[in-house]
Structure 1
Amino acid sequence: MRSAWQTTGRGRAAAGLGALVLGAGLAACSDPGGPETAPPPRSTGGPQRTEPPPPPPTHPFTGERKGLDNPVLAVKIENTRPALPQSGVKAADIVYVEQVEGGETRLMAVYSSELPKRVGPVRSARISDLHILPQFGRPAFAFSGVQSKMKKHVRAAPVYDISQENAGGAYFRSGSKPIPYNLYADPKDLLKKAPKAAKPRDIGFRFGDAPPGGEPTTSFTARWPSASMGFTWSKKQERWLASFGGRPDRAAEGGRLGGETVVIQYAKTTRSKFHDFLGSYTPLIDTTGTGRALVLRDGKSYKAKWSRPSEKKGTTFTTAGGEPVNFAPGQVWVVLVNDGKPYIP
């Protein structure tokens, strides 16, 4: 290490001679074979500070620790009375509830952390699905079909099309329900048709302790022109139990549907350019931009703001002050309702 001072002229020469003499004296007293070592640090006597280990990774869709690298699969599922009870919805990480023609609703279940043995009844896709899915990267997307005018939009979307048309071997008819309410699929077989489906990534959800405040809430009902879904808090099960049209919404595997967190997301709903064979126009749900939301968790409701800057970005939920509204770990329901009165196309 350089000295903090220097000598000049004859002073430098004298200093050099003194250093030679001093060095010779030190050499006579030292071990010539050992390396120079710094003196050991002085102990303060107190405990040593150690950094805490980082928290273990969790799934970005559920906040839990399973299936972190499993591919992402989205499936369209019928959500009308003739289709109940549905199969596979209990195993979904995220369940989207979307308005379709006639004021009814349809589900889009997103799977990654685990897969059910079967899922269905599988139904056709809608244009709003193609606006929701880009935030997941390029997931596998299972559905029974689309209107002919929509096929080019599906081809252009960042999804792996594993519809009945392209992955027929993964689909089967089952049970006593009439067509079209008896079409099911095997999720493992579906994913074999999309081996490069995206892995889970951050879509804006945050999990952890509940934010301060909140309004004690025992139930909430979301309404559309021809349908309603209710969610009632169960302290025993520590989740929100779903109802359809005022009746318990049961799973084909047994028990009630429902999730640990239910998000009521108010989004502008307008008429799209698509319609069904009866001439009823398909609603278009605008899930980009900003809007208001209500987050239900732990028997309370929290007013929130949702924000999604673009279709490739995720959706965040924050308080009025901009702090994240954490979800409870577990299944999340995102219930999309019109921002205002129920939308009647």
Structure 2
Amino acid sequence: MTKRRKWIIGTIVGVVVVAVAALAIVLTQGPHGQPVPPAAPSQPSPSAGPVFAAKIDNVAEARPQTGLSSADVVYVEPVEGGLTRLLAVYFGSRPDVLGPVRSARSSDIGVLAQYGQPVLAYSGAAPEILPALRSASLVNASPAEVPGAYFRDNGRPAPHNLYVHPAGLPGGTPPPADSVPRFGPVPTAGTPVSAYQVRYPAASYDFRWSPDSHRWAIFADGAPLSTTEAGRLDAATVIEQRVDVRVGEPGESGAVANSPVAQTVGSGEATILRDGQRFAATWNRPAPQSPTRFLTTTGDPLPLAQGPVWILLTAKS
């Protein structure tokens, strides 16, 4: 081989190496130029343990809450008066204290059916709903069943002052392997976005992307949402899941009529936020025991970012 030919081949190889390195840099940057941490292939959380869930108050008098920072999934559910409550779900580890705990709704039964037989902490329910709660595939863990696990914080006004020691509740069982969130690399069809808002009739949520923490900072009704144990709350993935909502269920202790019930079995549209991007998506859950699957608009699986997931159940337009 002549010296000139060797020189040409060496030059071509050098150009290819530089191009590959440049492409690698591009592929490891987010939409705003920030580094993206390496992502594992789409897979469920390998550490999912017994499922514990709790219904958490979310009006101004209940904030800041306690124990939400360690939740794996937080559902925002519509309730009467245009307000919302939270259903916090934990796969394995539980916080030392959690609350304020409030009453359950039929929406909780529908959401939790996909997680096998979870333990549910709640303060009570309207008399008309109690039979459904007791016959559902979950472990009822209200003060009626486990009074010793609950206590009142006299520094807060009732009814926003009931707390629970989750360690004092039954252990529960692990969820079906395919029901926990599936995490994976960021898809390619997202739109860069730094803020996103979800509104309910009498409540609002804002999510603001932080390149430094690589999380979405959470604001409720215009103020940062925080917890007593960890300060500001944030999420790795935020999902607005648009569902059918029916009304007519008794609300708090049966005193308020026309409480909304989110129908989480079926299909519909969704918006997913992760890695500083917004993704148009769809969701599908054919039966109560089926996991909820999120897909791109072309039907491909849409994995979530590793970390806390917030799912806001809103009414279809």
TM-score (norm 2): 0.83
- Give the equivalent residue in structure 2 for 1:303: 280
- Contact kept, 8 Å, 1:136 with 1:201, in 2: the verdict is no
CA distance in 2, matches of 1:306, 1:143: 27
- Give the equivalent residue in structure 1 for 2:173: 197
SS at match of 1:188: helix
- Contact kept, 8 Å, 2:41 with 2:184, in 1: the verdict is no
SS at match of 1:107: strand
SS at match of 2:75: strand
With over 3 angstroms needed to count, the CA separation of the structure-2 counterparts of 1:213 and 1:126, relative to structure 1, is same
CA distance in 2, matches of 1:89, 1:83: 13
Answer yes or no: is 1:220 the counterpart of 2:228: no
**Offset from partner CA, 1:8-36 (integer Å, 9 cap, x none):** xxxxxxxxxxxxxxxxxxxxxxxxxxxxx
Gaps of 5+ in 1: 1-55, 341-345
TM-score (norm 1): 0.77
Choose from 117, 124, 138 the match for 1:138: 117
Choose from 33, 49, 65 the match for 1:86: 65
Aligned partner letter, 2:191: E
Choose from 71, 78, 84 the match for 1:99: 78
Aligned partner letter, 1:322: G
With over 3 angstroms needed to count, the CA separation of the structure-2 counterparts of 1:73 and 1:58, relative to structure 1, is farther
Task: Give 1:175 shift.
Answer: 4.9
- Contact kept, 8 Å, 1:204 with 1:316, in 2: the verdict is no
**Offset from partner CA, 1:245-280 (integer Å, 9 cap, x none):** 011111111321121000110111121332345433
- Give the equivalent residue in structure 2 for 1:115: 94
Gaps of 5+ in 2: 1-39
- Give the equivalent residue in structure 2 for 1:294: 271
- Contact kept, 8 Å, 2:133 with 2:140, in 1: the verdict is yes
SS at match of 2:129: helix
Task: Give 1:199 shift.
Answer: 4.0
SS at match of 2:232: coil
Answer yes or no: is 1:268 the counterpart of 2:244: yes
**Offset from partner CA, 1:80-109 (integer Å, 9 cap, x none):** 100000001110000000000100000000
- Give the equivalent residue in structure 2 for 1:332: 309
Answer yes or no: is 1:71 the counterpart of 2:50: yes
With over 3 angstroms needed to count, the CA separation of the structure-2 counterparts of 1:269 and 1:97, relative to structure 1, is same
- Contact kept, 8 Å, 1:259 with 1:331, in 2: the verdict is yes
CA distance in 1, matches of 2:160, 2:176: 30
The two structures, once aligned, show a CA RMSD in angstroms of 2.0
- Contact kept, 8 Å, 2:206 with 2:219, in 1: the verdict is yes
Task: Give 1:188 shift.
Answer: 1.3
With over 3 angstroms needed to count, the CA separation of the structure-2 counterparts of 1:204 and 1:114, relative to structure 1, is closer
Choose from 238, 254, 268 the match for 2:230: 254
CA distance in 1, matches of 2:267, 2:175: 26
With 329-338 and 271-280 compared, the bigger mean Cα shift is at 271-280
Q: After TM superposition, list the pairs within 5 Å mapping 1:315-330 onto structure 2.
A: 315-330=292-307
Query: What is the count of residue pairs matched by the alignment?
Result: 278
Task: Give 1:138 shift.
Answer: 0.6
- Contact kept, 8 Å, 1:289 with 1:308, in 2: the verdict is yes
Task: Give 1:236 shift.
Answer: 0.8
- Contact kept, 8 Å, 1:206 with 1:326, in 2: the verdict is yes
- Contact kept, 8 Å, 1:73 with 1:110, in 2: the verdict is yes
- Contact kept, 8 Å, 2:182 with 2:303, in 1: the verdict is yes
**Offset from partner CA, 1:62-93 (integer Å, 9 cap, x none):** x4x5xx25210010000110000000111000
What is the percent sequence identity of the aligned residues? 39
Decide which structure has the larger Cα Rg and report it. Answer: 1
**Offset from partner CA, 1:83-142 (integer Å, 9 cap, x none):** 000001110000000000100000000012422111000000011111111100011111
- Contact kept, 8 Å, 1:160 with 1:197, in 2: the verdict is no
Choose from 198, 209, 214 the match for 1:233: 209
Answer yes or no: is 1:245 the counterpart of 2:221: yes
- Give the equivalent residue in structure 1 for 2:3: none
With over 3 angstroms needed to count, the CA separation of the structure-2 counterparts of 1:261 and 1:286, relative to structure 1, is same
CA distance in 2, matches of 1:307, 1:168: 38
Higher share in strand = 2
- Contact kept, 8 Å, 1:74 with 1:109, in 2: the verdict is yes
Task: Give 1:149 shift.
Answer: 1.1
With over 3 angstroms needed to count, the CA separation of the structure-2 counterparts of 1:175 and 1:120, relative to structure 1, is same
Aligned partner letter, 1:321: T
